[in-house]
Amino acid sequence: IFDQGFWASCARLLRPMARFNMLRCALFVLLQRGGLAVHSSSAEKTQRGVDGDHRVIVRFTDHSDSFEHEVEKYKKSKGVVRAKPLKQLRMAVVTLQSEEAQDEFIDELDGDEAVELAVPDTWVYADDFKSPRRAAPETELKPVRSLAEVLEHRRQCSNNPACHSRGLTGMCCPVPDGTMLSCCSMHLEPTTVALQSYHATYVSVTGEGAISARAPGMLAESKLEMMVHDDESVSFRTVFGAYLSAAETGWVTAVARDIGEREKFTLVFNRENGTFALGTSEGRFVTVEPTGYVLANRPTSDLWEGFIISKVEGKNQRFPNDPGVNQLWGMNSWARNDIDAPEAWRMWTGELGAGIVVGVIDTGIDYTHEDLREQMWVNPKEIPGNGIDDDGNGFVDDVHGADFANNDGDPLDDQLHGTHCSGTIAGVGDNGVGIAGVAWRGVRLMALKFLSADGSGRSSDAIGAIDYAIAHGAKILSNSWGGGGSSSAMRVAIERAEKAGLLFIAAAGNSGSDNDVEPHYPSSYEVDNLISVASTTSTGELSSFSCFGNTSVDIAAPGSQIYSTAPGNKYQFLSGTSMATPHVSGVAALLWMYRPQLSMQQVKQVLFDSVEKSKLLEGRIVTGGLLNAKNALETAWAFEPPRPPVHAPRAIAFVDEDPAVGTYSGVIKVTAAADESDIEYYRVYFVSAAGFQLEPFGGKMPATGERELLLDVNTSFSPPLYAVGLVAVSGRSTGEMNAKSDGVPQVVLEDYGVPELNAKGASWSGDSDLRKGWIAGTLSVERAGHEKSVSHYNVYWHGSGGRGELAGKVPAVGFSEPTCTGNACELIKQSRSGDTYMFERQPYTDEEEAIIAMSGPGTATVVQFTTEDYYDTLSIGGMQLSGDMTDSVPLPIPLPEGPASIEWASDASINDKGWIFTLVQGGARASFALNATKPLAEGFEVVAAYGRNEFPGEGILVALADFDRKMPPSPAFAPVSISFVDVDPGEDVVSGVAIVEQAPGALDAGVSAYRVNFANARGHPVGHGWTVSANDTSALQVTIPATAVPHGAVQLIARAKSDAGLAEGFVSTELVDIRPVAPGNVTWSSDRDMRAGRVSGDLVITPASLEVGIVSYVAYWIEGGKRVSEAGRRAPRGYGAPAVIHFGFGTAAEGSSILVVSAYAWGEMSEGVSVEVPDLDDARRLDAAAQAPL
């Protein structure tokens, strides 16, 4: 307060006066500046004498080196009771024993070069307080107030009506940092506006006072300063200092320099089109003719008399240069139904703040948009485009957020909704492009997509988005969605956000109903961090579609016809509480960047306390008012932010003692702070990999002075999603530290898990290094049935002495064999052959449910499928199958990498034949490559592990063998595969061509030929064999002539041969002696073609009992037992599925029956199955109908 200008003012006013009188001058100037009044009387002097409170204010010169040293000297002076330094003001207040001591002290300081001023500390009072000057005994007088008390009183919000009406408390005029709130003034300040006519032209003036409305755009001369009078009339002052006047002649001019009745206009609002008519003092209305003349001669108002009054930048406003800003009525509208964004932008746009992350839980965001890309959140721990989950959060390349609808890291908006909401929150302002969001700069938009392209989504995905936002540092969650009823899981997720300090802003809904009666979720959850938002129109009324609720909907914001960003660098108007919600989210972000020390609850309270009250909203929503950005920024200064302790605990330690993977138990040890003077308690929280505080663990631990505090975890717990550690913070009643505070200790959660399963098996490919004493090759590991408790497999050298050194590790991938849950699991037939599973449910019954869960990648192939259409469904890989799919099978459906499931459900009505599908699962085997090395033992041991803990049982042992060129070929050079198809129809006789695929590098390793043999189940050769020379082709052909199958032979094997002999390693294929089998049956649907000689229908072929070797089923027209012509052919579908041949409309009937035979590689069978195909033309249909029994 007491700056150089202050004292200079005193010197100019009272230069001749004595030094003592300088105080009265000072208080007089203070009166002019701060609204204080000086009162002095004999009664006051008497009272001061009674109290014995005689104080002197001492101000030191700027060149005084150490005024604190001077203050210490004053304490030793005669008559001084105490001396208190005011460092920031370079002042001191000295209290003395008596008035005489006071005068002597002032005289003593006169001439001290270190002292600029020394004056009595005189009493002052505020104007609105009663001064104790009544004629009563001195002993009855109440103590008068000090200067400091009076100053504090005047600064109180409660003593400034405009501030008090907003519900502000504490200090307002000014706030603690010196800012003077606009509500401290009792007069409305002029607003700069422009008048746009019905003809889309702007009213402009000249320096001579001429007025016209011909300008198609806003000019500097179009700006008018509008003043509101006590009688609610308005006047318009031009940029030339004159006022608009309505002359008797009917002309409107701008020459008057003072305001009279002709310079006052009444505003009449037209709710239908949102325009204002200007009424004159004579009851006429201002109009603009098509020629541009502005007149005031109309007795009534119509279209030409309507004006759009637009706010333009005035001294208390700031506007961005974005061309679409004029479309943003919700930000700025003279009708006062906006959020006062330009007034807020004059104070703060966020560009100088530390930033804030706003999570937009919606359809995603077009993060390439010209008005959004600079505002996008960027995951600091993710490397864009490398295809790797760098931060280990489960999403690959989640640079700007994540897509929970499609479970990937790309939240690009494929709809519109999320991009539109994002533009309102934080479209880049003042960049000359598009629009401006509420918060121009500083906001980082985290795209959290859970709604798909059709605008729908699942609550579980929304919950995932909430948890992701908490773990990655969002402070505000904008939720322009709802429906689906109440969900305890959703409510708990919002409560988790509350515990982490996030504000959850939600749309109230668009059904136009009362949420007090019919709740709308998530906006109707009673959680302390939630704000429910209604929508208003440009007239200030609730939008017709907006939900409301006197106890359940908190605040209103503009939501009808809102202009904002759209995907593809476009812009669009949309309406809904969805559009109102981002206005609130944007103001919350702007406010929180303005006062980052405020708590989440304080930010919420500021938003509520700062609304513009409206009779249109009273009784409809909790606050009864409209969101106001300017009021919010001003109101924020009335809140004292939390004051947490400055001393943090020194350490936190935790060791898991629970052997189950994913659960923890043990004792948490917190080492207390060295200085606990400002600490009341300690608390433990989970913390994410990004370093953000999640939910608390346990309760508060009082600071007792003990060096170590123990939190005993008696029962096992599972950490929340994204939690990777624990953090210990200190707290007190005025605030609590958080995980990002300086010096806060953390400990990583290391799971003491023990694998439940070991690897199923392991095999060695053989030595590919033919140097003696060296080996190289590949160890194949068959993964555990499920890897829920496996993080990797340890591969050890193993010999006669047991386990040796670690040779390496094979990472787990989350592999899981198919498992079934549900009431239909026992009814579904399941089988496995090699890597292929088969699932069959034929026929099925009512109300069956089953979920077959497994890991991908893989392929499910539907080979038979007939269910009740629409109601009975099988869901595979994102496809929902239902109905008769006979013509579509076999249908292969890929399963993506990662967790996958196949879901079956039938209702309680019609049933059908059912379904069969096969599943080939990838990832069941892993490879461990051993580069050329000298072996440390005779074999390997494979054991599953989780972290540092290993499977407690025995490991899988694999023997190794060192091969060189003097030995038969190593198994590493065994053939890759062998295939064979019998083409001989004779029983127990086979013939055909065996295909042997050579191993890479086999020729260089000395392989000269391959031997093919019949073999028994153990792989031992039986009967005949054939040899083929190796060459530089990948596949070799071995012709096997018609040969009787030896006794016991069940497979063909192929082995490599070199000059040193025949290898022991081999590959095999099943030996199938193909025997011709006719189709099981054939049926004809009936003729659908009404013309003679033409047929149309379906030929349904029941497959042969053994389809091995059948190439196709061939249908022939027959007449008189002889084949006439081929009618069609179909390949077998396998798994007992019928083959169907469709006869289209107009097919020529070349016989009376059809014969179906099985065709093999060697030819067709002569015998088969037949069915009559009657040609039913119209005449025969009528005849058949006439003969039918009644």
Question: Taking Cα atoms as reference points, which of 545, 537, 557, 536 lies closest to residue 510?
Answer: 545
CA 24/CA 9 separation, integer angstroms: 12
CA 983/CA 1162 separation, integer angstroms: 5
User: What Å distances lie between residue 480 and 234, 420, 452, CA to CA?
Assistant: 39, 11, 14
CA 794/CA 774 separation, integer angstroms: 22
Beta strands in 656-774 (DSSP E): 664-671, 681-688, 693-702, 708-717, 723-732, 735-736, 746-748, 761-764
Q: Which two tokens stand for residue 1056?
A: 């490599």
CA atoms within 13 A on the CB side of 947: 13
User: Please, what is the Cα angle at 1086 between 1084 and 1091, to 5 degrees?
Assistant: 130
Dihedral through CA 284, CA 285, CA 288, CA 294, nearest 10?
Answer: 50
Amino acid found at 46: T
DSSP H helices in 569-619 = 577-594, 600-609
Own/partner contacts of 155-158, CB < 8 Å, gap of 24 or more, are 157/638
- Whether residue 362 lies in the annotated active site: yes
DSSP one-letter string for 868-924: -TTTSEEEETTEEE-SB-TTT-SEEEEEEEEEEEEEEE--SS----EEEEEEEE--S
CA 208/CA 647 separation, integer angstroms: 70
46 contacts 137 by C-beta, under 8 angstroms: no
Helix axes 577-594, 600-609, angle to 10 degrees: 120
633 contacts 666 by C-beta, under 8 angstroms: no
Beta strands in 551-675 (DSSP E): 555-558, 562-566, 570-574, 612-613, 625-626, 651-654, 664-671
Parallel, antiparallel, or unpaired: how do β-strands 401-403 and 356-362 relate?
unpaired
Residue with tokens 């065996």, as numbered in its chain: 994
| 3-state SS track over 912-974 | CCEEEEEEEECCCEEEEEEEEECCCCCEEEEEEEECCEECCCCCEEEECCCCCCCCCCCHHHC
- Whether residue 578 lies in the annotated active site: yes
Parallel, antiparallel, or unpaired: how do β-strands 503-507 and 530-536 relate?
parallel
958 contacts 983 by C-beta, under 8 angstroms: no
CA atoms within 13 A on the CB side of 1111: 11
Catalytic residue among 121, 338, 362, 751: 362
Question: Taking Cα atoms as reference points, which of 445, 435, 610 lies closest to residue 531?
Answer: 610
- Whether residue 417 lies in the annotated active site: yes
Catalytic residue among 212, 535, 560, 578: 578
What are 532's strand-pairing partners?
506
What are 1022's strand-pairing partners?
1014
Catalytic residue among 400, 417, 647, 792: 417
CA 944/CA 810 separation, integer angstroms: 9
CA 1070/CA 981 separation, integer angstroms: 10
Q: Which two tokens stand for residue 490?
A: 């959703």
CA 387/CA 404 separation, integer angstroms: 18
Active-site residues, by number, are: 362, 417, 578
